[in-house]
Chains A and B, each alone.
Chain A
Amino acid sequence: MRLGDIVKRLDLKIESDTENMDNEIISGYCSDLLSDVMGNVRKGSIWVTLQTHKNVLAVAALTDVAAILITGGAHPDQDMLSKAEDEGIPVLSTSISSFEIVGRLYEMGIRGMRRGD
């Protein structure tokens, strides 16, 4: 599914300048533990988290996620956004909870495939 369509339908805020809205989202992953994401997230996923530290981008870049979605009303700081631009990874946000947004992504047809599934 095209990232831009997800952003529109779920009314997500685009936090980063990088507008790779044509990125194809092939699966989703929800976790706030960076080590867990590093081990499990599939390339091309949308990563749902409430973490906003810039190290999130280091993990995202290493694992080739297609987008990061920050939940619960949290917002990435400038450090995180600068790194996002450097890496070319779109960062989005929503005020609703991880659980709720994952539910809505699932309803749209996004499944939680992990690397190796």
Chain B
Amino acid sequence: METREFNVDLHIHTALSPCASGEMTPEEIVGRALEKELSIIGITDHNSAGNVGAVWESAKGTKLVVIPGMEVETREEIHVICLFNTLNAALEMQEFVYTHLPSIPNKPDIFGEQVLFESSAKKKTCERMLLTSTALPVEEVVSKVKKMDGIYIFAHVDRPSYSIISQLLFIPENLQDAAVEISPKANPQEVKEKYPSVRKMAMIKSSDAHRPTDIGTGGTIICMKEPGFRFLQEVLTGKQNNNIIFK
């Protein structure tokens, strides 16, 4: 099958995530992504897809493919990147996640602002605290994403916190039919040597961008026929890593 190479960054936060910079507006994200010659970006705010629509709007008319998603925090404090084929699916997941989030109001002066963009001119604040665990065990998050035919990726598994490895010590077999993400500076070989349970899984790097300059620093190229969700899904649930190149 004839494939082409596409630069991807599947883990980018907007100003909705309180820990992300206020500069992470839809226009800024799209602008930077195009500058960095990214073909596909994943918009993954903490426990919410509230700004995906706005980023998608900003990317209209360009060649940039915006994948709707979020970074869900499980009960065990594991971060899971959840990506979906449509905005509606991401919003459905958001509703599901919201019903399992505690109702705590955010404290912007401690955690940062949570800015929702209804359009490039109109913004409002998301009141509920997004930077916390849901009551959902990791298996339940995964099972929901699978039911919705989405993609799940265990975020930054090389990090000492919020990683499935730091929280559970290894990835159980029943969760290995997906991908893992490592930090931009991590060494893929070293990670595989250190953690046997990731060896059979697809491995990518993402920026986990919280500031504009972070975007695209993951340096991951995926070989696919077309830059689309289903092709991405095939690569990320496949057992081989030959379709994934690190720059």
Contacts and interface: CB of A to CB of B under 8 A. Distances in A.
Interface of A: 33-35, 38, 51-55, 58-59, 77, 79
Contacts, number: 26
B108 interface: no
Interface of B: 75-76, 137-139, 166-170, 172
A34 B137 contact: no
B168 A55 contact: yes
Contacts of A77: 137, 139
B169 A55 contact: yes
A56 to B, nearest CB: 9
The 4 closest A-B pairs by CB, nearest first: A55-B168, A34-B169, A53-B76, A53-B168
A59 B169 contact: yes
8 contacts: A34-B167, A34-B169, A51-B76, A53-B138, A53-B139, A55-B168, A58-B169, A77-B137
B70 to A, nearest CB: 21
B169 A38 contact: yes
Given A53-B138, A55-B169, A58-B169, 20 more contacts: A33-B167, A34-B168, A34-B169, A35-B169, A38-B169, A51-B76, A52-B75, A52-B137, A53-B76, A53-B137, A53-B139, A53-B168, A54-B172, A55-B168, A55-B170, A55-B172, A58-B170, A59-B169, A77-B137, A77-B139
Contacts of B166: 35
Nearest to A74: B75
A67 to B, nearest CB: 20
A79 B139 contact: yes
Contacts of B168: 34, 53, 55
A59 B169 CA distance: 9
B28 to A, nearest CB: 37
A35 B77 CA distance: 14
Contacts of A54: 172
Contacts of B169: 34-35, 38, 55, 58-59
Contacts of B137: 52-53, 77
A33 B137 CA distance: 15
Contacts of B75: 52
Contacts of A51: 76
Nearest to A35: B169
B161 to A, nearest CB: 10
A56 B75 CA distance: 14
Contacts of A34: 167-169
A52 B166 CA distance: 16
- In this complex, the member of A35, A55, A77, A79 whose beta carbon has the largest number of chain B beta carbons within 10 angstroms is A55
